[in-house]
Amino acid sequence: MAQQNFVDYVRLCGRSGAGGAGSAHFFRDRITIKGGPDGGNGGRGGHIILRGNKQLWTLLPLKYRKHVIAGAGNNGEANNRTGAEGKDIILEVPLGTVAKDVETGQLMWEITEDGEEKILVAGGRGGLGNTNFKSATNQSPRYAQPGEPGKEEWKILELKILADVGLVGFPNAGKSTLLSVMSAAKPKIASYAFTTLVPNLGIVSYRDTRSFVMADIPGIIEGAHAGKGLGIRFLRHIERNALLLFVIAADCEDVMHEYKILLNELEKYNPELMDKPKLLAITKADLLDEELKEMISSGLDLNIPYLFISSVAHIGLTELKDKIWELINNDEY
């Protein structure tokens, strides 16, 4: 993903269409001077609708579209004709898009399937024509309902990337290198922290033409949940991953300590993340001999599986794929 093209947060104002007014018409023709009521109902105002599109991966098309206006419904007509509905505005968004109300901050819903449609701002209802008010005691109602006005509401759209595996680690831990080796993705790789500024997705090929999606999330630092580093801006992408793959370099001071820091940041951000399956990949295994591996292993007090891998030397990658496939297809989760 090009960094300048990746947009995962949009704030826009939606104005739905007003409903058309009902008609208070009475039937007339060449031989009927005083006919009964035949006023039709007004048409519904246009909705603003979000539609899931699996071909999209960013909210960029909506970044500069701050105001979205739907069409108004037409008024009802004689002969019980209902007015035409206002034109709906359909906004296509990537899967994993969440809609929130700006004023209340309340989560409305989430788009998770291709072609799924949700109404972001509902159009006004059309008014009832005078035909609807005719009764035994009121044979000739001379009134009809006005159309319901449209709504003008500010909404927030957030994108949570849908992926099977989310890479979690400190900046410069080797997550981007791992993604580039295991998939065809080409994330930016450099020897300094915060090289990755946007999430990157890659499709990892597995045995017998099977595959899974891996997401490289920008690095987390201690205090990220409180806004340090890149803060919580990208932590929400981890919420949609089926498996959390912790990536920690073997040459760090203490693998267990770094794992606990990462786990603590995720728990403080969203305690529900603790229920997801987890796997630890200790990178740069090409720098270790068996004695060093045993020393690192002895310092690990984990209730999750772990593997020693090397993206550069292609050590342990097949075993890593096998373990990932096993965990994301485990019915216990």
Nearest alpha-carbon partner for 148 in 251, 239, 21, 272: 21
48-52 sheet: strands from edge to edge: 89-93, 48-52, 117-121
- When pLDDT is cut at 50, 70 and 90, the band that residue 197 belongs to is low
User: For residues 265 and 222, is the Cβ–Cβ distance under 8 A?
Assistant: yes
CA nearest to 303, candidates 278, 324, 330: 278
**256 phi and psi angles, rounded to 5 deg:** -65, -40
Q: What pLDDT digit, counting tens, does each position of 276-308 carry?
A: 999 999 999 998 899 999 999 988 888 899 999
pLDDT at 221: 62
Residue 1 banded pLDDT, cuts 50, 70, 90? very low
Q: Percent of the chain at pLDDT above 70? A: 89
Res 185: pLDDT = 59
Residue spans of the domains in the chain: they are 1-159, 165-328
pLDDT digits (tens, 9 = 90+) for 41-61: 999 999 999 999 988 888 888
Give the residue from 57, 116, 118, 46 showing the smallest Cα distance to 87. Answer: 46
pLDDT at 131 over 70: yes
Residue 3 pLDDT more than 60? no
Q: How many residues does the chain have?
A: 333
| Mode of pairing for the β-strands spanning 67-69 and 152-159 | unpaired
Question: Which pLDDT does position 196 carry in this prediction?
Answer: 47
**Taking each helix axis from N to C terminus, what angle separates 175-182 and 317-328, rounded to the nearest 10 degrees?**
90
Nearest of 296, 304, 292, 293 to residue 262 by alpha carbon: 304
CATH number of the domain located at residue range(s) 165-328 in this protein: 3.40.50.300
Token pair of 142 as six digits: 């001379």
In 126-239 the beta strands, taken as DSSP E runs, fall at 152-159, 165-168, 200-205, 211-216
Q: Are 259 and 245 in contact (CB under 8 A)?
A: no
pTM for the complete prediction?
Answer: 0.71
Quick check: 224 pLDDT over 60? no
- pLDDT number for residue 4: 53
**pLDDT of 252 higher than 90:** no
CB atoms within 10 A of CB 141: 18
Quote the CA–CA distance of 156 and 100 in Å, as a whole number. Answer: 5
User: Is 109 or 201 the better-scoring residue by pLDDT?
Assistant: 109
Q: Residue 323 is encoded by which pair of tokens?
A: 């373990």
Distance CA 77, CA 60 (A): 42
Is 253 in a helix, a strand, or coil? Answer: coil
> Does residue 207 register a pLDDT over 90?
no
Where helices occur in 67-120 by DSSP H, the ranges are: none
> Measuring CA to CA, how many Å separate 229 from each of 44, 171, 214, 235?
48, 10, 23, 12
Check pLDDT > 90 for residue 18. yes
CATH class of 1-159: mainly beta
